[in-house]
Amino acid sequence: MGRLKYIPLGVLLLSMPSFASGEAIVGMNPVAIAFFLFFITATLGITYWAAKRSRTATEFYAAGRSISGFQNGLALAGDYMSAASFLGIAGMVATKGYDGLIYSIGFLVGWPVIMFLIAEPLRNLGKYTFADVVAYRLKQTPIKTLAAMGSVAVVILYLIAQMVGSGKLIQLVFGIPYELAVVIIGGLMITYVLFGGMLATTWVQIIKAVLLLGGATIMTVWTLSKFGFSPENLFQSVKETVGEKWLKPGGLVSDPIDAISLGLALMFGTAGLPHILMRFYTVPDAKEARKSVFFATGFIGYFYILTFVIGFGAVVLVGLDKITSIGKGGNMAAPLLAQALGGDAFLGFIAAVAFATILAVVAGLTLAGASALSHDLYVGVFRKGQSSEEQEVKITRIAVLVLGVIAIVLGIAFKDQNIAFMVGLAFAIAASTNFPALLMSIVWKKFTTAGAVASMATGLFLSVILIILSKTVWVAILGNPEPIFPYKNPAIISMTAAFVVGILVSLMTKEPEAEEKFEEMKVRKYLGIGAE
Amino acid sequence: MTKEELKKILNDPEFQQLVKKVSTVSLGFTIAIMVIYYSFILLLAYGKDFLGQPISEGSATTIGIPIGIGVIISAWVLTGLYVLWANKNYDPMVKKLREKFGR
């Protein structure tokens, strides 16, 4: 199935050199094209294999719950280590020094929170989405409607950010037009998810994670070899090249409240990202779910340490001027370092790795968004839970196609827009809409449907409004002189408000069935009896 | 599972002990990572000069670098410790209770 679809893509790829422009940093480098084709062939092969194993709903959404803890750890890391973190954090270290490390730490510390508060109950209580857990003992219709809105909002914002970033990256690296780059990514992403479901998506993530960790490791060792394998020598060279200010904390954390707000969004937003939470249903039980967080945290932490060395390596071996002259915010620091280390061949390899990274992340997002639309909204709300498996999978596939096309269209529409706020907003919504309701539904007996609805609505509304009133939108996009909301991230207000409103409304309303079910739920939550 | 069976498990002292223990341990671990991370943030806000000092006379490496890397490593170590604890304590208790109730 789908064989014919692959041919036009192949033609598209072969015809790419004719689009090459002079300003691309790789252009049509043969090594890049070889790795690129190898990755696409391998992942499409996997999709073909997975297509036969993606017929039932459990197979399509959760890879038949057949993924091991270690594999899921790699896949989680794959979902989380986007091109933005690889290129963006390396670039931030290169252009701002130590502050890049602070940023990456914020992205890591959400993982232990997932482990200690969410992973095991999520796995034991849910079926395919985190909304299953919130709706476990509350009323399906209102809960699933709002949870689906929260999920889709996060997915769309994250997808646009990835699409725009990757279109720009591919344009810059390979020299193909932006619109074509977005269409290629969108087309491949739809193919993986539509035919191969979660199984193909998981293996795309695993391959990508191995390639990215491998590529970053080679780059780090290679960089350190230029400094006698001594980090101190590297830092000494950084100090001589750009000054000791690179090795000290700079302006990122100047206002403690702003810093704490960002920290809250990153820490608890991670625990509210629908595409991450969905991964926990691909493992057989809570024990494997727990193991997968351990591996994911290790891989992601290790990766952030590598990007720290890569960023500093770039500033010394490539030079700050060259980095800032190509690509905004130093995004090209890592590819340029690859070129400085191993010429065009290694650059081609790293460029292909970055491409694989983008594809894997957007595939995971699309699947999570489609699941929210079909499993939560269509089956949970419109069909009141009454739907055949075939029908559900069919609707998911339609949702994948619709979301894929939306991602391509919005990706092109937002080409020249300032999208810096989008990832921040996605994390703020995840931390304020999804996380509080999920946590309270797991741990608090008196949590009611009205409380959950009020909490999710408050979180969603406040995070969107406050982002609009903050500097990133109010000043940078709408052109007003002063922001109305003083902080860059709304989480400190929106997440706190979501908890407070959820608690107050729950205390004002009574739901005896929900309280009774909370007790019964404990057996499944702690012992896994009756878990899917 | 019938209501009676559920009640029996819920009223089982060993089950109640398990619930209490797991809640305490996961809360403790959560507090640990939050203390580590927010201490780091506060240190960044109020102790920039301290973090910017070289680790020893004449070295380029600042104190902030091992501390930052340390936060990353401690996050991972905490997840590892939780897995160790759960494998050693949580899983056997779950197994025992499931056997006891024939599940």
The predicted-structure confidence for A106-143, as pLDDT tens digits, reads as follows 999 999 999 999 999 999 999 999 999 999 999 999 99
What are residue A104's phi and psi, to 5 degrees?
A: -65, -30
The Cα A302–Cα A176 span in angstroms is 33
Pick the residue with more confidence: A313 or A10?
A313
Mean local confidence (pLDDT), A162-174: 82
Give bridge partners of residue B54 from the DSSP assignment. B62
Interface mutation target, options B41, B67, B87, B103, chain A, most CBs of A under 10 Å? B41
The Cα A399–Cα A155 span in angstroms is 13
Which pLDDT does position A9 carry in this prediction? Answer: 38
- B43 with B33: CB under 8 angstroms? no
Which pLDDT does position A17 carry in this prediction? Answer: 37
Q: How far is CA A297 from CA A64, A219, B83, in A?
A: 24, 21, 12
Mean local confidence (pLDDT), A316-337: 86
Alpha helices (H) in A109-177, listed in sequence order: 110-113, 119-125, 130-134, 140-174
Mean local confidence (pLDDT), A325-330: 74
pLDDT (tens digit per residue) in A38-77 = 889 999 999 999 999 998 999 999 999 999 999 999 999 9
Mean of all residue pLDDT scores within chain A: 90
Pick the residue with more confidence: A340 or A415?
A340
Would an 8 Å CB–CB cutoff place B81 in contact with chain A? no
Mean local confidence (pLDDT), A447-466: 96
Residue A2 has pLDDT above 60, yes or no: no
Residue A87 has pLDDT above 50, yes or no: yes
Which pLDDT does position A24 carry in this prediction? Answer: 67
Token look-up 């959760």 returns: A62
Would an 8 Å CB–CB cutoff place A267 in contact with chain B? yes
End-to-end CA distance of chain B: 10
How many contacts does A have with B, using Cβ atoms within 8 A? 152
| pLDDT-derived band at A463, boundaries 50, 70, 90 | very high
- A88 with A329: CB under 8 angstroms? yes
Low-confidence winner among A8-17, A276-285, A474-483, B26-35 (lowest mean pLDDT): A8-17
H/E run at residue A32: helix A30-51
The Cα A498–Cα A383 span in angstroms is 29
Which pLDDT does position A409 carry in this prediction? Answer: 95
Partner residue facing B86 (CB), from A231, A232, A290: A290
Cα angle, residue A452 at apex, residues A397 and A109 outer, rounded to 5°: 75
Would an 8 Å CB–CB cutoff place A243 in contact with chain B? no
- A112 with B78: CB under 8 angstroms? yes
Query: What secondary structure does DSSP assign to B47-63, as a single string?
Result: -HHHHHSBSSTT-S-BT
Residue A85 has pLDDT above 90, yes or no: no
Residues 6+ apart with CB under 8 A from A469: A483, A484, A485
Q: How far is CA A56 from CA A60, A197, A388, A390, B81, in A?
A: 6, 10, 10, 7, 37
Which pLDDT does position A268 carry in this prediction? Answer: 95
The Cα A182–Cα A407 span in angstroms is 9
The Cα A335–Cα A343 span in angstroms is 10
Classify A129 in phi/psi space as left (phi over 0), alpha (psi -120 to 50) or beta: beta
- A109 with B70: CB under 8 angstroms? no
Tokens of A436: 């509080």
| pLDDT-derived band at A258, boundaries 50, 70, 90 | confident
| pLDDT-derived band at A328, boundaries 50, 70, 90 | low
| pLDDT-derived band at A26, boundaries 50, 70, 90 | low
Comparing alpha-carbon positions, the chain B residue that sits nearest to A305 is: B69
| pLDDT-derived band at A251, boundaries 50, 70, 90 | confident
Which pLDDT does position A56 carry in this prediction? Answer: 92
Residue A254 has pLDDT above 80, yes or no: no
Question: 3-class DSSP state for residue A423?
Answer: helix
Contacts of B22 in chain A (CB under 8 A): 526
Would an 8 Å CB–CB cutoff place B84 in contact with chain A? no
The Cα A55–Cα A199 span in angstroms is 11
User: Which segments of chain B have a pLDDT < 50?
Assistant: none
Q: How far is CA A284 from CA A120, A413, A491, in A?
A: 12, 41, 34
Comparing alpha-carbon positions, the chain B residue that sits nearest to A239 is: B60
| pLDDT-derived band at A441, boundaries 50, 70, 90 | very high
Tell me which residues of chain B, numbers 37 to 76, contact chain A at a CB-CB cutoff of 8 Å: 37-38, 40-42, 44-46, 48, 51-52, 59-62, 64-65, 68-69, 71-73, 75-76
Q: Please judge whether A301 and B103 are an interchain contact, meaning their C-beta atoms are less than 8 angstroms apart.
A: no
Q: Please judge whether B83 and A520 are an interchain contact, meaning their C-beta atoms are less than 8 angstroms apart.
A: no
Which pLDDT does position A14 carry in this prediction? Answer: 37
| Buried-exposed string A467-497: b where 16+ CB fall within 10 A, e elsewhere | bbbbbbbbeeeeeeeebebebbbbbbbbbbb
Stated pTM of the model: 0.92
Residue A210 has pLDDT above 90, yes or no: yes
End-to-end CA distance of chain A: 30
Which pLDDT does position B71 carry in this prediction? Answer: 97
CA distance A526 to chain B (A): 7
